[in-house]
Amino acid sequence: RRDIAPDGDLMDDVRRFFAPTPSISVATLGADGSPHVATRWFVWLDDGIYVACDRDGRTWRNAEADPRVALAGEAGRAWAELAGFTCAGTATLLPAEDPAMRGPISAWHEKYRGLVQGDGFERMTARIERLGFLRVRPDSVETWDHR
């Protein structure tokens, strides 16, 4: 296990390693203090981790009420290949149409283009009418590696 400061070259290496992974888990707190964990698509850019959410969904509502979140991601399949990270931070909630989301939305579409081919994108937008993103700038990151 290794704790990594949120800036510097080592954080850049961690970001580049985990950026291609398909999804991460995001933990939020409900109004009653109970934890809620959901798997979400994301892009990890220089200025933060952007986690896609339905603005009418529980993850968004929880982060709106209490923006403290934790994220966890993993790469590999067999034990000897596994590596992962966890981090905590404060979420900034950004609707997809926010002007600050132009770059992150482009990166998100590029990353997931192959997963929403054909009618996939239309089906996704019909299901998630109000797309938003939690931008998390990690306070710290912890990594582990079995490789």
Question: Which position has the token pair 């996939």?
Answer: 120
pLDDT digits (tens, 9 = 90+) for 54-82: 999 999 999 999 999 999 999 888 989 88
**Per-residue pLDDT at 121:** 64
Any idea what the Cα angle at residue 24 is, between residues 89 and 101, rounded to 5°?
Answer: 65
On the 0-12 / 13-18 / 19+ scale of CB atoms within 10 A, 75 is middle
Q: What is the largest CA-CA distance in the chain?
A: 42
Q: Are the C-beta atoms of 42 and 50 separated by less than 8 Å? A: yes
Residue with structure tokens 């002007």? 99
| Stated pTM of the model | 0.88
The residue with tokens 């934790």 is 70
DSSP class of 113: G
The confidence score (pLDDT) of residue 120 equals 65
53, 134 Cβ separation under 8 angstroms? yes
pLDDT surpasses 60 at 134: yes
CA-CA distance, 107 to 110, in Å (whole number)?
5
pLDDT at residue 118 tops 80: no
How many residues are present in the chain?
Answer: 147
Give me the helices (H) in 19-145, please. 58-65, 102-112, 120-127
Q: What is the pLDDT of residues 16-68, one digit of tens each?
A: 888 889 999 999 999 999 999 999 999 999 999 999 999 999 999 999 999 99
> What's the pLDDT at 72?
96
Non-local CB neighbours of 68 within 8 Å, separated by 6+ positions: 29, 88, 89, 90, 91
